């Protein structure tokens, strides 16, 4: 039975061909791949394009026989490119000071030529264990960074006293303590992520992590790597093992935002994981069990998408045990003074401005506007006003730029026939985007298929 090889890939750089061949003959029995190189100038190319478990590096090359300067130079070149590289320096000249300096500058160990085979193998074995510990630390750092990035997202309590937002609070209170899957529906900027975080913070999993993923920002090629993870070497850029978001979120909450943007093939892969409750990293055959609370969100008309077969019905059933519908800001105008005042205080602190207040006429201007971008647009409007205003009170003039945006009250209709109104709005959207169906559909909040049906219905 063939002995299991503990070394994956090893690089040996030495200008002595006899040394290279002797080392390769010894190490090929213990390593999956041994690469030998006589020319040290090829080190940058090799290190940039390959991942080596161990690098054996000569201290002295033909240009500089005894000082070790070339060896130190190439050691620095390697560690600058890969700080976690495990480098064992080799030399025919035993020098304690040189050995100490090599260790200080990043070498893992130091061996003398001619070496004893058992000693060299033991040194390399110890170096392999060190490399694995480096990889584990890198993995922990990646996980920690991901958790910090997510936990550092600005969380603010959902602000409002309107009936519409109070109904949302009631649903959150009822469902948060369960592990039921939740689907949050609402326009862009209505606060879907805040609701997801509120559900997590009031759940039994609140001592564990909340991991958010913007599904609309993940390309098809990276979908599996980002969500399910990958093994080192499983594809071109997979230089290290990496845990996917499902693994990182284990025992906590996973929030999949903009889930309506997933293509059908990706929907199928996601459904498989949700049904099996386990993930398999790319490049591995070992399934990893997961225990998560799933929250999804979308601003898209997901039921229309199911009707025109652009979203899987079985996936919808899986993710929407409970639905939470977030109202647009135009339907909760009584909350605008509270929200605006909150943002004014925040941005005055952020930009070190003297405290500012909103005038009654300024609030009235804000309440008259339709806010197509919802709370996010209001937040940006307040931020701009705080930065630009030199007064202690924000007045309507500080929001002059809102007049350039369409208001729901500006839509002119000749009659109140809903069919005619829909037809006119669709025609205006088509004209605005010069016949581009995709852009018109996006502005109308429809899928392309839904818009085509309406175009046919109205004879447009």
Cα(131)–Cα(204) distance, rounded to whole angstroms? 38
| pLDDT at res. 409 | 43
Q: Which domains does the chain have, with CATH numbers?
A: 7-133 (3.40.50.2300), 163-325 (3.40.50.300), 329-409 (1.10.8.60), 414-458 (1.10.10)
What is the average per-residue pLDDT within 322-351? 94
* pTM tops 0.95: no
Q: Which of 153-157, 179-183, 213-217 has the lowest mean pLDDT?
A: 153-157
Choose among 358, 318, 309: nearest CA to 338.
Answer: 358
Q: Is the pLDDT of residue 369 over 50?
A: yes
Most confident of the following: 38-52, 120-134, 400-414, 433-447: 38-52
291-332 pLDDT, tens digit per residue, is 999 999 999 999 999 999 999 999 999 999 999 999 999 999
Residue 403 vs residue 398, higher pLDDT: 398
88-134 pLDDT, tens digit per residue, is 888 776 666 776 787 788 888 888 888 888 888 888 888 888 777 77
Cα(321)–Cα(21) distance, rounded to whole angstroms? 65
């Amino acid at each position: 039975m063939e002995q299991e090889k503990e070394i994956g890939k090893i690089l040996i750089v030495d200008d002595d061909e006899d040394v290279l061949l002797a080392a390769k003959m010894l190490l090929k029995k213990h390593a999956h791949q041994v690469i030998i190189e006589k020319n040290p100038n090829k080190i940058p190319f090799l290190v940039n394009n390959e991942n080596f478990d161990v690098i054996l590096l000569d201290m002295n090359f033909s240009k500089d026989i005894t000082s070790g300067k070339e060896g130190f130079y190439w050691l620095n070149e390697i560690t600058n490119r890969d700080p976690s590289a495990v480098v064992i320096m080799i030399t025919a000249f035993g020098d304690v000071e040189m050995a100490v300096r090599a260790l200080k500058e990043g070498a893992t160990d130091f061996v003398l030529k001619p070496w004893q085979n058992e000693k060299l193998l033991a040194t390399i074995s110890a170096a392999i264990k060190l490399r694995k510990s480096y990889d584990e630390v890198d993995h922990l750092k990646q996980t920690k960074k991901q958790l910090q990035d997510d936990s550092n997202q600005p969380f603010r309590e959902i602000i409002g006293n309107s009936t519409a937002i109070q109904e949302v609070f009631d649903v959150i209170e009822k469902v948060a303590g369960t592990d039921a899957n939740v689907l949050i529906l609402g326009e862009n900027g209505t606060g879907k992520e805040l609701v997801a975080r509120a559900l997590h913070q009031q759940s039994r999993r609140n001592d564990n992590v909340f991991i958010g993923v913007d599904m609309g920002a993940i390309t098809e090629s990276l979908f599996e790597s980002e969500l399910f993870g990958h093994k080192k070497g499983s594809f071109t850029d997979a230089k290290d093992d990496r845990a996917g978001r499902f693994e990182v979120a284990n025992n906590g909450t996973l929030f999949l935002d903009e889930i309506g943007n997933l293509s059908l093939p990706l929907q199928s892969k996601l459904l498989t994981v949700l049904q099996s409750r386990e993930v398999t990293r790319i490049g591995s055959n070992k399934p990893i069990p997961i225990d998560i609370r799933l929250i999804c969100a979308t601003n898209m008309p997901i039921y229309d998408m199911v009707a025109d077969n652009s979203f899987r019905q079985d996936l919808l059933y899986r993710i929407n045990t409970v639905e939470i519908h977030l109202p647009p800001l135009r339907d909760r105008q009584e909350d605008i003074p509270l929200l605006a005042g909150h943002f004014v205080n925040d941005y005055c602190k952020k930009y070190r401005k003297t405290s500012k207040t909103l005038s009654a006429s300024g609030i009235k201007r804000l309440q008259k506007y339709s806010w197509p971008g919802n709370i996010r647009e209001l937040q940006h409007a307040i931020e701009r006003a705080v930065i630009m205003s030199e007064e202690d009170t924000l007045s309507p003039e500080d929001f002059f730029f809102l007049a350039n945006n369409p208001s729901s009250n500006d839509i002119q209709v000749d009659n109140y026939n809903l069919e005619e109104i829909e037809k006119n709005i669709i025609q205006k959207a088509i004209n605005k985007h010069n016949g581009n169906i995709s852009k018109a559909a996006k502005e109308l909040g429809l899928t392309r298929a839904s818009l085509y049906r309406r175009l046919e219905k109205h004879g447009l």
